[in-house]
């Protein structure tokens, strides 16, 4: 159960508003939790973190804060007019998850705030709508209606492009091993507002699963996805990517294993595709065929699956 911390000096009506919002959402939220959230909230502690809001939050912001706190098993703290530094000292924490009308962001002293952003997916989708091609989609041979497993979700930019390309009849599932990152990205995919309807629809269709991608792959039936995709971002970092800096502190730096690649080949119907920096050589290690495109900062490589089992 989420804890809501009240301040005796605050307006009682404000406290009542938080309680009302929380009671309204908590039952339906737990019933509709994704697999990323199930069974992990109580098992893993989140000591040293609180959830609060921006200044003068509205009812929707309070509801959003209560959802995140419920998912993470954290405390919702009334913001009043405290600075984040004052809140850290007052409640004895380092990390503060701040929810505002613009979304949720994780504030950690001495580090850049982490918040969800669709990043490169926005202009990539615009280009696709103008009739341009996308190297990742060509390398994966994506078709409308395809089912894609993004085994290394990260910030979700590639998954959003997959979701747009596969369309309403397709399916995109993203796996993220780091629980806090998975929940913040899933929250962003659910709440991010955009003037571009196609971008927003693509984000809403993505399913996020929290877990180790090898363990998830082991549990999937053979040939259950058209494409399995890996982006093991820590082999070589693309410095020009604006999303990398914010996610590095939260993400899993483990290298891609041979067993995971073999499991992916069992699960995929069409192709297993891997993305790495242009100086990377993982494709040689795993026997993948490189798919090069002029001017790209990254290299996509693939393993053709063929006719299935």
- CATH number of the structural domain spanning residue 61: 3.40.50
| Same domain flag for 181 and 253 | yes
Domain boundary residue, one of 115, 137, 164: 115
**DSSP label at 238?**
-
Q: What CATH number does the domain containing 128 carry?
A: 3.40.50.150
Q: By three-state DSSP, how is residue 301 classified?
A: strand
Give how far Cα 55 sits from Cα of 40, 61, 106, 206, 287, Å.
31, 10, 16, 31, 54
What is the per-residue pLDDT across 106-152, written as a single tens digit (0 to 9) for each? Answer: 998 888 888 888 989 999 999 999 999 999 999 999 999 999 999 99
Q: What is the mean pLDDT of residues 56-63?
A: 92
Domain boundary residue, one of 95, 115, 135: 115
Q: What is the mean pLDDT of residues 67-71?
A: 89
What is the per-residue pLDDT across 204-261, written as a single tens digit (0 to 9) for each? Answer: 999 999 999 999 999 999 999 999 999 986 433 434 444 444 555 555 556 789 999 9
| Same domain flag for 160 and 60 | no
State how many domains the chain has: 2
| Same domain flag for 144 and 105 | no
Task: State the pLDDT at residue 3.
Answer: 44
What is the per-residue pLDDT across 70-105, written as a single tens digit (0 to 9) for each? Answer: 888 888 899 988 999 999 999 999 899 999 988 899
| Same domain flag for 59 and 198 | no
In a domain, 309, yes or no: no
| pTM (predicted TM-score) | 0.78
Q: 39 pLDDT band (50/70/90 cuts)?
A: very low
Task: State the pLDDT at residue 119.
Answer: 86
| Same domain flag for 7 and 111 | yes
In a domain, 280, yes or no: yes
| Same domain flag for 176 and 235 | yes
Percent of the chain surpassing pLDDT 90:
53
Task: State the pLDDT at residue 26.
Answer: 36
Contact predicate 122/193, CB 8 Å: no
| Same domain flag for 207 and 289 | yes
Mean pLDDT value across the chain: 81
User: Of 118, 169, 178, 127, nearest to 148 (Cα)?
Assistant: 169
Name the residue with tokens 């908590």.
26
Question: Where do the H-state alpha helices sit in 92-231?
Answer: 121-129, 135-140, 157-166, 179-191, 197-205, 213-218
Q: What is the mean pLDDT of residues 168-186?
A: 92
User: Of 98, 67, 69, nearest to 82 (Cα)?
Assistant: 98
Containing structural domain, residue 84: 3-115
């Amino acid at each position: 159960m989420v804890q809501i911390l009240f301040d005796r000096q605050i307006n009682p009506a404000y406290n009542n508003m938080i309680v009302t919002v929380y009671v309204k959402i908590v039952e339906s939220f737990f019933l509709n939790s994704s697999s990323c959230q199930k069974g992990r909230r109580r098992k893993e502690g989140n000591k040293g973190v609180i959830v609060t809001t921006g200044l003068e939050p509205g009812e929707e912001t309070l509801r959003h804060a209560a959802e995140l706190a419920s998912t993470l098993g954290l405390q919702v703290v009334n913001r009043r007019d405290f600075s984040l530094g004052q809140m850290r000292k007052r409640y004895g924490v380092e990390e503060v998850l701040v929810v505002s009308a613009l979304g949720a962001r994780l504030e950690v002293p001495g580090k850049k705030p982490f918040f969800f952003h669709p990043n490169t997916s926005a202009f990539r989708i615009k280009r696709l709508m103008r009739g341009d091609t996308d190297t990742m989609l060509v390398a994966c041979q994506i078709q409308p209606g395809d089912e894609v497993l993004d085994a290394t979700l990260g910030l979700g930019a590639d998954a959003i492009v997959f979701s747009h390309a596969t369309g309403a009849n397709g399916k995109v599932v993203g796996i993220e091993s780091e629980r806090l990152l998975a929940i913040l990205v899933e929250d962003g995919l659910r709440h991010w507002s955009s003037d571009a309807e196609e971008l927003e629809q693509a984000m809403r269709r993505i399913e996020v699963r929290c877990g180790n991608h090898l363990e998830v792959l082991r549990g999937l039936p053979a040939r259950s996805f058209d494409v399995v995709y890996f982006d093991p971002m820590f082999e070589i970092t693309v410095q020009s990517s604006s999303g990398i800096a914010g996610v590095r502190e939260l993400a899993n730096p483990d290298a891609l294993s041979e067993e995971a690649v073999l499991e992916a080949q069992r699960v995929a119907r069409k192709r297993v595709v891997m993305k790495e920096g242009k100086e990377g050589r993982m494709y040689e290690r795993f026997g993948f065929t490189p798919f090069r495109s002029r001017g790209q900062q990254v290299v996509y490589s693939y393993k053709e699956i063929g006719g299935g089992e």
